[in-house]
Chains A and B, each alone.
Chain A
Amino acid sequence: MSKIIVGRYIPGHSLIYKMDPRSKLLVTILFILAIFLANNPITYAIVTIFCFLAVIATGLKAKVFWDGVKPLIGLIFFTSLLQLFFMTGGHIYWHWWIFSLSSYGLVNAIYIFIRFTLIILISTVMTVTTMPLEIADAMEWLLKPLKLFKVPVDKIALVISIALRFVPTLFDETLKIMNAQRSRGADFNDGGLIQRAKAITPILVPLFIHSLETAIDLSTAMESRGYRSSEGRTRYRVLSWSKCDLIALIYFVLLVGLLLIFRTH
């Protein structure tokens, strides 16, 4: 389990951890939308400060968030560069063929850069402080209105929860099978592409069989304990609204208020 932390959840004790996952998910989504309200230097500064305060409030090391941004840094720079060299307008500093460097482009590149980074940071705040299963619960709650359109929300949520629950189990099993095949002389690091692809068969076949067996066992276990669809079931993890959620809500309303006041109309 050394390399993959499922869902990136990192245990902690700060206020954000005590929030209800539903409000956390909702506030995160709204926050991301609110980022798009910013359209001038003051509003970008405000939303950046609010985002960084949220990051600090998690009480986690900066490295955690850097790890969240790092994989996407190339994409961020690429998008920013596109803005920088292809957008025209305002004062033009430099021009060559289809490329140009303008004041509009420069400002927009910076905005795009900030916007991207903030979106990643704020979603990282949520994913590192919320367990995957809690996120699934929150999503179920958010999707509840779809029940009106006969979408089997409970069943979808059950499927997601089970899938998430079995990720670590499957990971352990994969590791075990790899070790067993390594002991039989299998080599997963050597050889060309075709050889490597071939080397995967001894892992995949046992893994598929194991997954099917686990699924059958699980359904048998559920049925023998009287599981009947999902009508009127009580919950193992009861979600409840707390003071922390209220604080988060006030924080968010404050942000939107400030953004609406200072944005250019």
Chain B
Amino acid sequence: MSIKFEKVNYIYSPGTSMEKKGLDNVSFELTENSFVALVGHTGSGKSTLMQHFNALLKPSSGTIDIAGYHITNQTGNKNLKKLRKQVSLVFQFPEAQLFENTVLEDIEFGPKNFGATENEAKSKALKWLKRVGLDETIANKSPFELSGGQMRRVAIAGVMANEPAILCLDEPAAGLDPKSRKEMMKLFVDYQKAGHTVILVTHNMDDAAEYASDVLVMEHGKLIKHDVPKRIFADRNWLEKHYLDEPTSSLFAAGLTDFNFKDHPLTIDQLVAGIKENVRG
């Protein structure tokens, strides 16, 4: 299920004194089953772009083709459910969306809305509760009795239980401890490997370098670069100019001035391999 944005503009509060351009002539195409990292500093338009994926926002001009839908500024609010069933969004700090009496009911909310029967919803909820690394024993607890990290996992389970073809996540690991962070990332990578498209809004360049097949770089509402991580992170000056970090491994390798790397390493594995080669050679 490919995604295509063509000359998409989005204007906040048009015609008022607070008019502001959210997206400025954004065009790109993503192939099915890719893992996309959406990067850029705060206020660059990442979240605005993300909300276009399931038509929470509609372009002021331009067109979007996603999951068989053609979205323009003429698109109405009706019949968007099918789109939202296929394209799901996990917002920043998604624990804010919990509301049900029990964890299980909260996770079932999405599947039920999208037409699953009681039994289907329940089995999906239990399946995803396990997948996000939580124990079945908490299924009947109130979500508000849980710890912050557990609430985050329940909220993510609540979205992933819809099993969307395209899953967009806005900094899902923000504020989590390193172990949870790793587990969450693995969950998303596995989901992509199972044949879905994953779009990850992130400030963590290590994640972008390691997992992404595409990196989209946003700045001032414009898409300033769309490429594979290798080429994105190759130009240090360009990264610095646009206030983007380098992946840790890349920085580490740059510090090893006596070493020669065939390919500039972006991940720990590549770094280790590169160092080994140098030491042996």
Residues of A within 8 A of B (CB): 1-2, 10-11, 173, 176-177, 179-187, 189, 201-202, 204-206, 209-210
Contact = CB atoms under 8 A, between A and B. Distances in A.
B96 interface: yes
A183 B56 contact: yes
A206 B81 contact: no
A187 B99 contact: no
Contacts of A201: 99
Given A187-B113, A202-B109, 9 more contacts: A1-B13, A10-B17, A11-B17, A182-B56, A183-B89, A183-B91, A183-B159, A185-B162, A209-B96
Q: Give the residue among B18, B51, B96 with the most A Cβ atoms within 10 A.
A: B96
Contacts of B78: 189
Given A1-B18, A2-B13, A10-B17, A183 B96 contact: no
B84 A206 contact: no
Given A11-B17, A189-B77, A209-B144, A184 B113 contact: yes
Contacts of B112: 185
Contacts of A180: 89, 91, 94, 96-97
B162 A184 contact: yes
A206 B94 CA distance: 11
B58 to A, nearest CB: 13
Nearest to B112: A185
Most A Cβ at <10 Å: residue of B17, B18, B97: B97
A179 B94 CA distance: 11
Contact of A210 (B81, B96, B114): B96
B9 interface: no
Nearest to B17: A11
A202 B108 CA distance: 13
A43 B156 CA distance: 67
A206 B56 contact: no
B158 interface: yes
A183 B86 CA distance: 10
A185 to B, nearest CB: 3
A106 B13 CA distance: 44
Given A2-B13, A10-B17, A181 B144 contact: no
Interface residues of B, number: 30
Given A202-B109, A206-B96, A184 B159 contact: yes
Contacts, number: 68
B99 A176 contact: no
A186 B108 CA distance: 12
A206 B97 contact: yes
Nearest to B56: A179
Interface of B: 12-13, 17-18, 51, 54, 56, 77-78, 81, 84-85, 88-91, 94, 96-99, 109-110, 112-114, 144, 158-159, 162
B96 A185 contact: no
Nearest to A176: B91
Contacts of B54: 183
A203 to B, nearest CB: 8
B104 to A, nearest CB: 15
Contacts of A2: 12-13
A210 B144 CA distance: 12
Contacts of A176: 91, 96
Nearest to B15: A2
A185 B98 contact: no
A173 B12 CA distance: 17
Nearest to B89: A183
A58 to B, nearest CB: 14
A177 B88 contact: no
A164 B94 CA distance: 26
Contact of B99 (A10, A179, A183, A202): A202
Across the A-B interface, give the 4 residue pairs with the lowest CB-CB distance, nearest first: A185-B113, A205-B99, A184-B110, A180-B97
Most buried by B among A173, A182, A185, A206: A185
Contacts of B90: 183
A53 B114 CA distance: 58
A144 to B, nearest CB: 34
A238 B17 CA distance: 27
Nearest to A184: B110
Nearest to A173: B96
Contact of A183 (B17, B88, B144): B88
A184 B56 CA distance: 12
